[in-house]
Amino acid sequence: MPPVDPAALDGNWHARRDDGARFDLTLSPDTSFIWKFSQQQQTQTISGNYRVDNGLLILRGTSGGAMVGQVSAADGDRFIFKPLGGPAEEPGLTFIR
């Protein structure tokens, strides 16, 4: 898949896993982000700043820690985020606008 244009990532994105987990990701033009993970009526929210570098989406939380994954464009309204360090067969999360 082609690399993603960082400007094309701005906006609200949603993904689901087969186990029912839901992911909501907001990427703003000022490089701030909000990542919300929900499963079985529990929600976790992380916010901070992001950047795209060499095909990687790097999400740095304000309270420390980071999530890093390969990001690739599937089309204008979807992208795939595949966390680094995961199994090779892991398909990643497909985010849809």
Q: Let me know if residue 91 belongs to a domain.
A: yes
Q: Let me know if residue 23 belongs to a domain.
A: yes
Q: Let me know if residue 84 belongs to a domain.
A: yes
User: Is the whole model's pTM more than 0.85, yes or no?
Assistant: yes
Q: Let me know if residue 29 belongs to a domain.
A: yes
Considering its fold, how many domains does the chain have in total?
Answer: 1
| Helix, strand, or coil (residue 46) | strand
Q: Answer yes or no: is pLDDT of 63 > 80.
A: yes
* pLDDT tens-digit series, residues 30-56: 999 999 999 999 999 999 999 999 889
Higher pLDDT, 75 or 42: 42
Q: Let me know if residue 20 belongs to a domain.
A: yes
CATH code, 10: 2.40.128.640
CA dist 34 → 1, 13, 86 (Å): 25, 10, 22
Q: Which domain holds residue 57?
A: 6-96
Q: What pLDDT score does 74 carry?
A: 66
